[in-house]
Amino acid sequence: MTNPILENIQFDAEGFMTDKSQWTKDIAVAIAEQEGIETLTESHWNVIDYCRFAGEQTGKSPTLRTITDSAGVPTKELFALFPKGPAKKVAKISGLGKPEGCV
């Protein structure tokens, strides 16, 4: 079942938002739920906020290495917060495009 918050949001074939200017925290929560994350904790938001900031600065989604190096989140913790492909998952939740190097 699709969350009504996401009804008017456009996504590409892989589930990434096509217009990042539409992103809101409510949209992030709805996408996270679809990705199997029921609650976004302060730790989740710290990573999301970093990714949004980095995306604004570079025009690209940060890679896993960039997140772990620059956001100060160890890889193991990142995988615990965003299981099964954390860079890709956090990019979706952050309203950003697919990170370079992700398959």
Query: Range of 19's domain?
Result: 11-93
Query: pTM, whole model, 2 decimals?
Result: 0.92
The average pLDDT across 87-91 equals 95
If one counts the domains in the chain, the total is 1
Give the active site residues: 102
- 48 inside domain: yes
Would residue 15 count as lying in a domain?
A: yes
For residue 30, being part of any structural domain is answered with yes
CA distances in angstroms from 37 to 41, 65, 89, listed in the order given: 10, 22, 10
Q: What is the pLDDT of residue 33?
A: 95
1 residue type, one letter: M
For the beta carbon of residue 62, count every other beta carbon within 10 angstroms.
27
In a domain, 51, yes or no: yes
Residue 6 lies in a domain: no
Say if 98 falls within a structural domain.
Answer: no
**What's the burial of 19, exposed, middle or buried (CB within 10 Å: 0-12/13-18/19+)?**
exposed
Considering Cα of 69, then 91, then 98, then 85, what sign does the dihedral take? positive
pLDDT digit string, tens, across residues 20-72: 999 999 999 999 999 999 999 999 999 999 999 999 999 999 999 999 999 88
Q: Is residue 72 part of a domain?
A: yes
